[in-house]
Structure 1
Amino acid sequence: MSKLQTILYPQKGDRKNIFFSGKGGVGKTSMACITAVETAQKGYKTLLMTTDPAAHIGSVLDKSVTDEITKIEGMDNLYAVQIDQKKATEEYKENVLKDAEKKFDTSTVMAMREELDSPCTEEMAAFQKFIEFASMEDFEVIVFDTAPTGHTLRMLELPMDWSKQIQLKAGISMGISEEDQKQKAKFDKVIDMMKDEKATTFSFVMYPEKTPIVEAHRASKELETLDIRTQLVVANLIIPEEQTISSFFKNRRDMQLKYVEEIGETFKDAELLKVPMFEDEIKGLDMLKEISKIIFDGGLKNE
C-alpha cells in the first residue's frame, strides 16, 4: 500500500480523520469535497463536515447541506454537515448560563454573561460542536474542511478548562463540576486522536506561491508544538502543461514548479499531492468523481 493510501484510508477497521487547513482561497473546501467523494467511492462510510461559516461545501457538492447530518443523494456512503456558527454559539452560551443560574446569584450570572460576549466564545462553541461530531462512532472516515488552529487547540491544553476560566473571571472560586470534567475528558480524547498519526491525517492546502507556503509552514510548526504532525501537503491550482500555449502561461507554470519543489523541501516529511487547475468551476458529484480519479488514481505526470 502506498503512503498516500495509508494516510487517506482507514487501516484494519480503524477510523480515519482527515483535516484540511490553509489560508483562505487556496481550495481547502474543494479538496475536502474531492477527498470525501474519493473515500466514499472506495466504500468507506464518510462524513464531510465544516466549522467554517464561510465554507461552501453545499455549493461544491451541488447539494443541500445543513447543520444536521444529511445523506448526499446520488453518492453511496457520503454524508455532510455544516456547523451553524451563530446557532452553536447561542446554544453554548445558553448551556453555560443555565448551569450558572443554578449555582450563583444574579450579579454573578450577569458578569458571566458579559464574559461570554467575546470572540473566544464563538471559537469554543464551534470546537464543542466539532468535538460532538468527532466523538461519533457512526463513520469510518470523517473529512474536516478547515481544521482547528493551533491557537484553539492550545486553549484546550490549559491547566483549567474553559468553564473554570469563566468562573475565575467572574470572581468566583469553586471546583470544576462533574459535567465540566466530562466535557474536558471529551476534549482530551479528541486532542489525543489528532496526535495519533494512524487515526488522523493533518494536511495543508496551498497554491504554489511564497506567501501561502510561509503561512502553512508557520501553522504547521505551531501544531508540532502540540505533537500534531503534517502528513499531507497539497500544491493546488498548477497550470497544466498542455495549457502553456503562450509565454505568459509558460512562465507562470515554470514559477509554480519551482514553488512546488520548495513545498516538497519545506514539508519533506509529508506526502506531496499535486493538483492541476481545472478549466471549469469545481461543482457537482460527477466532476468531483472525475477529479478524484485524476488526483488519487493518476495525478500529474512526474515533473
Structure 2
Amino acid sequence: MYPLFNPKHVELTPFLFFTGKGGVGKTSVACATAVALADRGKKVLLVSTDPASNLQDVLSVELTGEPIEIPAIANLSAANIDPEAAAKSYREKTVGPYRGKLPDAVLATMEEQLSGACTVEIAAFDEFSRLLSDEAVLEQYDHVVFDTAPTGHTLRLLQLPSAWSGFLDTSTHGASCLGPLAGLEGKKEMYAKAVAALSDFNKTTLLLVARPDTSSLNEAARAAHELKEIGVENQLLIVNGVLQTRHPEDVVSSAFYDRQRRALKDAPTALKQVMTYALPFVAYSLTGADNLRHLFSFYSITTAAAANTAETAEMPGLDRVIADFEANNTRVIFTMGKGGVGKTTVASAIAVGLAERGHRVHLTTTDPADHLGYTFGGGKGNERLSISRIDPAVEVANYKTEVLKDAGDGLTEEELAYLKEDMESPCTEEIALFKAFATVVDKADDEIVVIDTAPTGHTLLLLDSTEAYHKEMSRSAGDVPDSVKKLLPRLRNPKETGVVIVTLAEATPVLEAARLQEDLKRAQIDPKWWIINQSLYAAKTEDPVLRGRAASEKQWIQKVVDELAAKYAVIPWLAEEKIGYDKLKEFSN
C-alpha cells in the first residue's frame, strides 16, 4: 500500500495544482493541504476555479474572486473565482465588437460557440496566469494552492504561434471553440510567463487526485501523460478515499474493500512512474477547520460518524424508470453524467429491462474501454437485444480528416497547426460522436435505442446554430448531415426521447449534474429522470465508517428529490458487481 499523504513530510513547491475528475475530492484535499501548510506558519493563498466548487462551504466563509483572510485559520487567505462569470465576460469581449455589424443569427452562433468547456478553460486560465506571472504574489505568499488545474489542451493551444495570429479573425474556413484568440494579444506575455512557471520543476507541483476505482485512475493516467507532454513533469498522485480496514461480517464493507484493492492492483502502468500517496476513506464531512485537520491525522472515524444513521427509507428503484419508459413508448434513451458515476451499468440495465419486457432494443456506447463487453460478460443473453460500440478514436479521426479536407487548402503551416490543435478540444469529439449517434438512431426506427453517454446541450445548440449560420451566410463551420438535422427535433420531443441523468449522492457529482441539466434545458431538452447510483445510504451497511459516509449522503439525495429531479430513482451500493445479462435483469425485478 502507498504511504499516507501528509504535507509535513513532502517537499512542496510554491505553486500547487490539484486536478482530477469531478467527485474525487480535489477541493477537500486542496483545502486540507492549505490548512496544514498554514498551521506550519506558511503564508498560503487558496484559489478555486472549479465551476462546481464548494470551497466556501468547506471553509465556512463567504468568498469572492478577490482573496480574503480566513478568520479561523491563521496565515490562510482564499478566493473562489467563478469561471462561468469569467467566461461570460470573455464571450462579451469577443462578440461585443460585432454587435450591430453582423446578423443576429451569426452573433447567436458565435455566442454558442463560446459557451463550451474550452471557453471556460481559457477564461479560468486568465486567472491562473495573473497569479502565476505576478512576482508580487510570491513575495506575499509562500504557497499558492489551486483547486483545479488547466488542461493539456489549453496549454498546448496557447503555445502555438498561430493562436496569436490574425488567422481566426479573417478565416472563413472554420472557427475555434475558444474564439478569436488574436483578441488576447495584449496578454501574450502574461500567458507565456504562466506556461513557463507551470513547467518549472522548482516552482510548480501537479497533484493528481484520484479515487481507488478504475475510471478515476485511468483519467489520472491520461492527465499525467497529457501534461507531461507539454513540460509539466513535477507530478504526484494522491489516491483519496482508501478504506483502511474492513469488517468481514459486513458484506458491503468486504466488497468495498476488495474492489478498491483490485482497482489499485490493476492501475495503469503509467501511474507506477508517478510518486503515489494515499488518503483514508473517512466517515465525517470534510468541512470546517477541525475536520480538515483530522484528514492528515488519519482518524478512521469520529464520534459523530460512529452514530447510528436513520433507517433507510424506501426509495424507487430502476424498475420504476424502465416501466415509465415502456408506458410512454420512449424510443431513444440517453444516459448522461460525469465519468465514474455508473452510466454504462445503468444504460445496460435499462436496455436489458426493456428487452425482458418484449421490446427490440439496440444498446450502444462511446466508451473506448468497451465496458459494455465487460458488463455483459462477453454475451448478450436475448435475441431482442443488439449491442454496438461507437469507437471515438475512429469517429474523431474521420471527422478531422473531413474538416481538414474542406478547410485545409490555402492555410499556412502555422494556421494548419492551429486548426489541428483546435480539433483536439472536447467540442470536436462531442460533435464527431454526435454524428455517429445520429447515424445509429436514424437506422433504428423499429427499435428502442439506448445510448450510453450523450452530447451536451452546448453541442446540440452549436449544431443547431450552425444550421442557421449556414442559411444566413451560405457557409458553415461544417456540413450538418440529414441524420443530425432529423435527430435534433427528435431529441427535443419528450414523447420520443428520454434523458436519464446519473449521479452520485455527493456534492460535486450533484452540482455538476445540475449544471448539465441547465445546459440541456438551454437546448430545449428537459430531463425527467435522475438516478442516484451507488448509494451507501440505501445499502444498509453496518460498517461504522461507511455508515458515517452514508449519513452525509442524505442532504444530496434530498437536494435531488426536492430541487432538481422531476422523477428520481436510487440504486444502492451493491456488494456484488452485476456482470452478465442474468445479473443485469435483477435491476428490474
| Range of TM-score over shorter length | 0.7 to 0.9
Moved more, 30-39 or 247-256: 247-256
Conserved in 2, the CA contact under 8 Å of 1:97 and 1:113?
no
Q: Taking every aligned residue pair, what percent have the same amino acid on both sides?
A: 31
Conserved in 2, the CA contact under 8 Å of 1:115 and 1:166?
no
User: How many angstroms apart in 1 are the aligned matches of 2:61 and 2:216?
Assistant: 30
Larger Rg: 2
Q: Secondary structure at the match of 1:268?
A: helix
Quickly say closer, same or farther: Cα 1:109–1:288, change in 2 above 3 A.
farther
Query: Corresponding residue for 1:224?
Result: 228
Match of residue 269, structure 1, among 261, 273, 278: 273
User: How many angstroms apart in 1 are the aligned matches of 2:131 and 2:57?
Assistant: 22
Conserved in 2, the CA contact under 8 Å of 1:231 and 1:271?
yes
Conserved in 1, the CA contact under 8 Å of 2:199 and 2:233?
yes
Moved more, 70-79 or 129-138: 129-138
Query: Corresponding residue for 1:294?
Result: 298
User: How many angstroms apart in 2 are the aligned matches of 1:86 and 1:267?
Assistant: 32
Match of residue 185, structure 1, among 184, 189, 193: 189
Query: Corresponding residue for 1:13?
Result: none
Look up the equivalent residue of 1:33 and give its one-letter code.
C
Match of residue 279, structure 1, among 283, 308, 315: 283
User: How many angstroms apart in 2 are the aligned matches of 1:77 and 1:243?
Assistant: 41
Instruction: Please give the TM-score of this superposition, normalised by the length of structure 1.
Output: 0.79
* 1:62-141 alignment runs, 5 A limit: 62-96=60-94, 107=101, 115=110, 117=112, 118=114, 119=116, 120-136=118-134, 137=137, 138-141=140-143
Match of residue 254, structure 1, among 255, 258, 278: 258
Look up the equivalent residue of 1:107 and give its one-letter code.
K
Conserved in 1, the CA contact under 8 Å of 2:214 and 2:267?
no
Query: Corresponding residue for 1:32?
Result: 30
Shift of 1:180: 4.6
Match of residue 199, structure 1, among 200, 203, 206: 203
Quickly say closer, same or farther: Cα 1:201–1:6, change in 2 above 3 A.
farther
**Structure 2: tracts of 5 or more residues without a match:** 174-180, 300-589
Query: Corresponding residue for 1:154?
Result: 156
Query: Corresponding residue for 2:49?
Result: 51
2:15 paired with 1:9 = no
User: How many angstroms apart in 1 are the aligned matches of 2:35 and 2:268?
Assistant: 26
| 1:121-160 deviation line (CA, Å, top 9, x unaligned) | 3332221122123333232211111111111212211223
Match of residue 22, structure 1, among 16, 20, 23: 20
Quickly say closer, same or farther: Cα 1:166–1:113, change in 2 above 3 A.
farther
Conserved in 2, the CA contact under 8 Å of 1:209 and 1:259?
yes
Quickly say closer, same or farther: Cα 1:61–1:169, change in 2 above 3 A.
farther
Moved more, 141-150 or 179-188: 179-188
Quickly say closer, same or farther: Cα 1:26–1:180, change in 2 above 3 A.
closer
Shift of 1:187: 0.8
Q: Secondary structure at the match of 1:161?
A: helix
User: How many angstroms apart in 1 are the aligned matches of 2:203 and 2:188?
Assistant: 20
Q: Secondary structure at the match of 1:224?
A: helix
| 1:179-204 deviation line (CA, Å, top 9, x unaligned) | 95541111111111111122111121
User: How many angstroms apart in 1 are the aligned matches of 2:38 and 2:259?
Assistant: 35
User: How many angstroms apart in 1 are the aligned matches of 2:36 and 2:249?
Assistant: 32
User: How many angstroms apart in 2 are the aligned matches of 1:243 and 1:282?
Assistant: 23
User: How many angstroms apart in 1 are the aligned matches of 2:167 and 2:296?
Assistant: 45
2:207 paired with 1:213 = no
Moved more, 188-197 or 285-294: 285-294
Look up the equivalent residue of 1:46 and give its one-letter code.
V
| 1:239-262 deviation line (CA, Å, top 9, x unaligned) | 121655524313321332343344
Conserved in 2, the CA contact under 8 Å of 1:27 and 1:205?
yes
User: How many angstroms apart in 2 are the aligned matches of 1:278 and 1:235?
Assistant: 13
User: How many angstroms apart in 2 are the aligned matches of 1:248 and 1:87?
Assistant: 42
Instruction: Please give the TM-score of this superposition, normalised by the length of structure 2.
Output: 0.43
**Structure 1: tracts of 5 or more residues without a match:** 11-15, 296-303
Quickly say closer, same or farther: Cα 1:116–1:162, change in 2 above 3 A.
farther
Give the number of aligned pairs.
280
1 or 2 for the larger relative contact order (CA 8 Å, sep ≥6)? 1
Q: Secondary structure at the match of 1:127?
A: helix
Query: Corresponding residue for 1:168?
Result: 170
Moved more, 243-252 or 284-293: 243-252
User: How many angstroms apart in 2 are the aligned matches of 1:233 and 1:208?
Assistant: 11
Conserved in 2, the CA contact under 8 Å of 1:34 and 1:288?
yes
Quickly say closer, same or farther: Cα 1:153–1:292, change in 2 above 3 A.
same
Shift of 1:207: 1.0
Conserved in 2, the CA contact under 8 Å of 1:9 and 1:39?
no
Moved more, 54-63 or 227-236: 227-236
Conserved in 2, the CA contact under 8 Å of 1:156 and 1:187?
yes
Shift of 1:293: 3.6
User: How many angstroms apart in 2 are the aligned matches of 1:243 and 1:134?
Assistant: 47
Q: Secondary structure at the match of 1:151?
A: helix
Shift of 1:264: 8.6
RMSD: 3.2
Quickly say closer, same or farther: Cα 1:263–1:71, change in 2 above 3 A.
farther
